Amino acid sequence: MTMAIVTHASCRLHDMGDDHPEQPARLGAIQDALLASGLDFTVRHVDAPAVTREQLLRVHDPEYLDLIAAVSPTTGLAPLDDDTLMNPHSLEAARHAAGAVIKAVDLVMNDDIDTVFCNVRPPGHHAERHHAGGFCIYNNVAAGAAYALDAYGLERIAIIDFDVHHGNGTQDIFEGDPRVLFCSSFQHPYYPFSGDEATADNVINIPLPAGTGGEDFRRAVEERWLGPLDAFRPQLVMLSAGFDGHAADPMAQFRLREPDFAWITDQARELALRHADGRVISVLEGGYDLPALGRSVAAHLDSLLGFK
Residues known to be catalytic: 126
**Cα-based distances in Å from 237 to 14, 30, 65, 159, 277:** 28, 22, 27, 6, 10
| Contact call for residues 114 and 279 (beta carbons, < 8 A) | yes
Long-range contacts of 19-25, Cβ-Cβ distance < 8 Å, separation of 24 or more = 20/85, 21/250, 21/251, 21/288, 22/121, 22/122, 22/123, 22/135, 22/288, 24/121, 25/290
Buried/exposed 202-217: b ≥16 CB within 10 Å, e otherwise: bbbbbbbeeebebeeb
Question: Phi/psi class of residue 126: alpha, beta or left (left: φ > 0; alpha: ψ in -120 to 50)?
Answer: alpha
Sequence-ordered alpha helix ranges (H) in the chain: 25-37, 53-56, 62-71, 90-109, 140-151, 168-174, 214-224, 226-232, 258-275, 290-304
Buried/exposed 4-36: b ≥16 CB within 10 Å, e otherwise: bbbbbebbbebbbeeeebbbbebbebbbbbbee
- Residues 111 and 107: their CA atoms lie apart, in Å, by 7
Q: Is 187 exposed, middle or buried (0-12, 13-18, 19+ CB in 10 A)?
A: buried
